């Protein structure tokens, strides 16, 4: 069962969707990169209670929306030309483009992303962006696998299958079949945040929801997870390509 609603906070209208779940024990609010707001509550929760919750959390909601709007503006400025900077594991690297009669390639050399473009590349394709995306996906998979090996062992789990993709609404997810989906853009973050996303999703192999048991397990696995989670929340708008 789903529905919609809206509240007024100051002069700003916050619109949201609400879903009712018999499996959920307490309410949760999510703000997505498209600035949509979703509320999930236990079955039987009244719409008045949902409105009160959204009203109470309005400052936090608007902060998240503002961050995603900043992200959208930041992303639009990328031109993929020499001199621009791109993040990898929390550090900035300057882009250096060379056009030669060679294969398309990306290398991290010193403080630079060196992208080589064949001189016969199709002008209708954005070769630099495509090359960087492929490079980030490859390295995101490597780093995610490293983190999975460490934290799966601590949970006494067999390392699950990992898929790397660009997810618009989250940094990671865990399917009902136990596959971890990791947003490749997380590789722009420091390794501590990559590890947080991996550990978070691994804990979902034990607990499918965000119950108290889930957070207790994550805290046992990663005692400082709250610090990492908060840093990702504050800095995530920078991880764009």
**For residue range 173-195, what is the model confidence (pLDDT) as tens digits?**
888 888 999 999 999 999 999 99
Instruction: State whether 122 and 18 are in the same domain.
Output: no
Mean pLDDT lowest among 17-31, 135-149, 181-195, 219-233: 17-31
Instruction: State whether 140 and 92 are in the same domain.
Output: yes
**Distance (Å, whole) CA 61 – CA 215:** 22
Q: Determine the Cα angle at 25 with ends 21 and 28, to 5°.
A: 75
**Tens of pLDDT along 55-113?**
998 988 887 777 665 555 445 567 888 899 999 999 999 999 887 767 788 999 888 99
Instruction: State whether 30 and 71 are in the same domain.
Output: yes
**Distance (Å, whole) CA 20 – CA 47:** 10
pTM score? 0.69
Structural domain of 14? 2-76
Instruction: State whether 211 and 142 are in the same domain.
Output: yes
Based on the number of CB atoms within 10 Å of its own CB, is 100 exposed (0-12), middle (13-18) or buried (19 or more)?
exposed
Instruction: State whether 172 and 220 are in the same domain.
Output: yes
CB 15 within 8 A of CB 25: no
**Tens of pLDDT along 221-235?**
999 998 998 888 888
DSSP, collapsed to helix, strand or coil, labels residue 62 as helix
- What integer pLDDT is reported at residue 121 of this predicted model? 56
Question: Using N-to-C axis directions, what is the helix angle for 47-56 and 58-76, rounded to 10°?
Answer: 60
Average pLDDT of span 186-213: 92
């Amino acid at each position: 069962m789903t529905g919609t609603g809206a509240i007024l906070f100051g002069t700003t209208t916050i619109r949201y969707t609400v879903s009712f779940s018999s499996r959920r024990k307490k309410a949760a609010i999510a703000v997505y990169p498209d600035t949509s707001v979703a509320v999930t509550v236990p079955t039987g929760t009244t719409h008045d209670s949902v409105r009160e919750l959204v009203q109470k959390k309005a400052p936090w909601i608007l902060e998240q929306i503002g961050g995603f709007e900043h992200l959208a503006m930041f992303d639009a400025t990328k031109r993929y030309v020499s001199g621009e900077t791109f993040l990898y594991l929390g550090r900035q690297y300057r882009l250096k483009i060379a056009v030669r009669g060679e294969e398309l390639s990306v290398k991290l050399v010193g403080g630079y992303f060196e992208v080589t473009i064949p001189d016969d590349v199709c002008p209708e394709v954005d070769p630099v962006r495509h090359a960087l995306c492929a490079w980030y996906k490859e390295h995101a998979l490597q780093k995610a696998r490293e983190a999975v090996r460490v934290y799966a062992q601590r949970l006494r789990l067999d390392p699950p299958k990992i898929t790397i993709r660009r997810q618009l609404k989250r940094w990671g997810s865990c399917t009902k079949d136990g596959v971890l989906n990791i947003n490749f853009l997380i590789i722009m973050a420091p390794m501590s945040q990559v590890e947080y996303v991996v550990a978070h999703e691994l804990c979902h192999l034990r607990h499918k929801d965000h119950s108290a048991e889930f957070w207790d397990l994550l805290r046992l696995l990663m005692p400082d997870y709250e610090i990492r989670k908060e840093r990702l929340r504050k800095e995530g708008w920078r991880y764009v390509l």
